[in-house]
Chain A
Amino acid sequence: MPVDRPNANLRPLSLHVPEPKFRPGDTVDFSDLAVPPAGAAPRPASDAAPDSFRDLAYGLVRVLGEDNRAVGAWDPKLSPDRLRAMLRAMALTRAFDERMYRAQRQGKTSFYMKSTGEEAVAVAAAFALLPDDMCFPSYRQQGLLIARDWSLVDMMNQIYSNRADRLHGKQLPIMYSVREKSFFSISGNLATQYPQAVGWAMASAARGDTRIAATWCGEGSTAEGDFHSACTFASVYRAPVILNVVNNQWAISSFSGFAGAEATTFAARAVGYGIAGLRIDGNDALAVYAATEWAAERARTNQGPTLIEHFTYRAEGHSTSDDPSQYRSAHEAAEWPLGDPIKRLKDHLIALGEWDEERQAAMDLELAETVKAAAREAEKNGVLGHGLHQPLETMFEEVFEDMPWHLAEQRQEMLDEAKAAGLEIGR
């Protein structure tokens, strides 16, 4: 394209389009990934000024070292019982994921999303929060519900959209809602829960409550405008909220560079908003616990919000509709330098002399049985497409508190058509 104007002799501009280091078939080498040693990061007082977090926002808080020992100021010093409970919830989350992934492949449901490799992010956070702290999760924090001892059968009923599904088959599988466990209704629209969590926290503060809110999104979703508005509101009103960014390196097929990771960290976003920012090893359950506990204390003492970047790796496909071998090297998960969160916590307990491989194997077996039994129970209520769904007319309920005439009319039309066609019409 010839350019006829002054300064046309300047070197042409070029557009930078990020590219991940490894594509399918590439040998993976993470040796240039900066992984600071465990225990090196300082732990500020929970009322430290937001502008003092620059190094923590660019660093990486780690507690569990190569020797599987907990070290440094961030060691939450949990009892062996607590550690074993956390390990169990993480392993149960993985067992649940395995079973439900298989259920989708068997055609029992339309869709599923695993959280493999990210179990610590949700489970350890749940352990560090109080049970009535309000969680605004994304779709990959099923570990929160499992850590809060929610019914696996209920979760499966939702996944199967069966007649016992409390959400009446209205929602895509895994978009849980469990008010009883302070677990907010999941939406398919990314990052929308971020300002909602901030609003919930502002309401709690405005009413002089003691509860705090926590929310989660992936690193990809930080690019959404709602992330910005949430951080602005959280900072302006010093909302008692924990803003978690789960940086698992991948947003479906887009690597984290498309959310800005080539230029900075996600925790560093906090610096610009005047929010305390921590960047932590998301595969280190103790680091997740410690950071969440710290942020919760900060929030609960009116010191305001904290943004925590959980540096982790999405070990499997984005969803059952995704095939990661089409866009990334199959070796990435195995080569990931921060390892597997369950194995690391297990090895820590073993190093403490509080656990062993036999007990782990027995627990894994028991958890697989627990999940299997729950699945059998849930399947009695039906699986997707096998007839045991909710009555047809429930489709029109809960659009509004009271059904307006136009919905009542459409419901009747549908029932009349179903009857004319000889279909079973439910109630």
Chain B
Amino acid sequence: MNMIQAINSAMEVMMARDPAVVVLGEDVGYFGGVFRATAGLQKKFGKTRVFDTPITECGIIGVAIGMGAYGLRPVPEIQFADYIYPALDQLASEAARLRYRSAGEFTAPITIRSPFGGGIFGGQTHSQSPEGIFTHVSGIKTVIPSNPYDAKGLLIAAIEDNDPTLFFEPKRIYNGPFDGHYDHPVQPWAKHDGSEVPEEYYRIPLGTAKVVRAGEAVTILAYGTMIHVVSGVVAASGVDAEIIDLRTLIPLDIDTITASVEKTGRCMIVHEATRTSGFGAELAAQVQERCFHSLEAPIERVTGYDTPYPHSLEWAYFPGPVRIGEALKKILKD
């Protein structure tokens, strides 16, 4: 399966298992979603379980919270993560705090799916990576898969989870992994290990990172599309790097991270999102606090620049192989 098919399969499995699971969002019903992630679901489960909504993100999330309070398990879609901001109040003030403020009387067991990230010439409003805004909000979990197998298992776990969970889908790798070489032909998922996806139910627990490549020289923390970019750079450079796919940012798998950095003594963090106050800053702070005596070099961050996501200069902005390669040389120099 490609990533879209895996995500579609996760929803189909969960809707068949649990009648409380409902899917809502702009164009998700009859049409099956602008990325086809919900294709066929309305036909199979009916209009009262999979339905199109008006174009109002605060409404989509607000309604999903109310459905959750009733006892349903809604999976709302925000068409692009760039358009999640109208729903920020409902997410940060309501979904994230409902359990806390009612001392558990009411909860928001909702999973917000949203395509995110750049590398597709999406310009300013089809490329953003806003995960850092949400990891800053207590009460929300944040999940970002990097391959079809993980996408299905993590999405199933997110839907089953009783806390509100953001599920950001790197749309650059919906149809195939992307190593950052935009001038090379796109590789389909079929050639990648992660494309073997069982048809049936399985779950990957939230809060578990995955060591994508074991190594001794440096720890690289990344997620989403960046896993593939980093893997390409590491393979080409011959550096014995340990690459960790975080998979969930909140809860964070801190043990896997610290064990790795204590072993390698070096830590590089890679994300597409802008640098200042990005999630990389939290990762760097955690590693610095916990692995201070193991560190042999300053922690490196390779991220998007602190600018809005540009259109024509996309490949200068995107933290691609060249920038990651340079940072790798730098961190290994000392």
A175 contact set on B, CB distance < 8 A: 101
Question: Separation in Å of the A273 CB from the closest CB of chain B?
Answer: 11
Tell me how many residues of B have a C-beta within 8 Å of chain A.
48
Tell whether A370 is near chain B: CB-to-CB under 8 Å.
no
Tell whether A399 is near chain B: CB-to-CB under 8 Å.
yes
Chain A 104-143 residues near chain B, CB threshold 8 A: 134, 136
Chain A 220-250 residues near chain B, CB threshold 8 A: 225-226, 228-230, 232-233, 236
- Of the candidate stretches B92-100, B212-220, B271-279, B300-308, the one touching chain A is B92-100
A195 contact set on B, CB distance < 8 A: 58-59, 61-63, 65-66, 90
Tell whether A398 is near chain B: CB-to-CB under 8 Å.
yes
A404 contact set on B, CB distance < 8 A: 207, 250-251
- Of the candidate stretches A33-41, A57-65, A162-170, the one touching chain B is A162-170
Of B61, B72, B139, B161, which contacts A399 at CB under 8 A?
A: B139
Asked whether A185 lies within 8 Å of B101 as measured between CB atoms, the reply is yes
Asked whether A400 lies within 8 Å of B141 as measured between CB atoms, the reply is yes
Asked whether A406 lies within 8 Å of B69 as measured between CB atoms, the reply is no
Tell whether A197 is near chain B: CB-to-CB under 8 Å.
yes
Asked whether A401 lies within 8 Å of B102 as measured between CB atoms, the reply is no
Tell whether A187 is near chain B: CB-to-CB under 8 Å.
yes
Question: Separation in Å of the A194 CB from the closest CB of chain B?
Answer: 7
Contact A401 B66, CB 8 Å, known A184-B106, A187-B94, A195-B90: no
B207 contact set on A, CB distance < 8 A: 404
Which has the most chain B C-beta neighbours within 10 Å: A178, A202, A230, A405?
A202
A69 to B309, CA, bound (A): 67
- Of the candidate stretches B47-55, B182-190, B223-231, the one touching chain A is B47-55
A134 to B66, CA, bound (A): 10
Tell whether A189 is near chain B: CB-to-CB under 8 Å.
yes
A228 to B97, CA, bound (A): 23
Question: Separation in Å of the A353 CB from the closest CB of chain B?
Answer: 44
CB-CB contacts of A146-177 with B at 8 A, as 1s and 0s? 00000000000000000000111011000101
A188 to B100, CA, bound (A): 13
CB-CB contacts of B66-84 with A at 8 A, as 1s and 0s? 1111111010000000000
Asked whether B65 lies within 8 Å of A225 as measured between CB atoms, the reply is no
A12 to B245, CA, bound (A): 62
Asked whether A405 lies within 8 Å of B251 as measured between CB atoms, the reply is yes
Asked whether B100 lies within 8 Å of A399 as measured between CB atoms, the reply is yes
Contact A401 B162, CB 8 Å, known A196-B66, A196-B94, A199-B63: yes
Contact A185 B62, CB 8 Å, known A192-B93, A399-B138: no
Tell whether A200 is near chain B: CB-to-CB under 8 Å.
yes
Of A205, A225, A236, which contacts B58 at CB under 8 A?
A: A225
Asked whether B101 lies within 8 Å of A405 as measured between CB atoms, the reply is no
Tell whether A360 is near chain B: CB-to-CB under 8 Å.
no
Asked whether A232 lies within 8 Å of B99 as measured between CB atoms, the reply is no
Nearest B-chain residue to A166, judged by Cβ = B103
Tell whether B297 is near chain A: CB-to-CB under 8 Å.
no
A179 contact set on B, CB distance < 8 A: 102, 105-106
Of A166, A197, A398, which contacts B99 at CB under 8 A?
A: A398
Nearest A-chain residue to B282, judged by Cβ = A406
B69 contact set on A, CB distance < 8 A: 134, 184, 196, 199-200
Q: Which 10 A-B pairs have the closest CB atoms?
A: A199-B66, A195-B62, A229-B59, A199-B63, A196-B66, A203-B70, A185-B102, A404-B251, A177-B102, A200-B66
**What would 10 A/B residue contacts be, using CB atoms closer than 8 Å?**
A166-B103, A167-B102, A177-B102, A192-B93, A198-B62, A198-B63, A226-B90, A233-B54, A399-B100, A400-B141
9 extra interchain contacts, Cβ-Cβ under 8 A, other than A185-B101, A203-B22?
A: A177-B103, A195-B59, A195-B66, A199-B67, A205-B48, A206-B22, A399-B100, A399-B138, A405-B254
- A interface residues (Cβ-Cβ under 8 A, vs B): 134, 136, 166-168, 170-171, 175, 177-179, 184-185, 187-189, 192, 194-207, 213, 225-226, 228-230, 232-233, 236, 398-401, 404-406
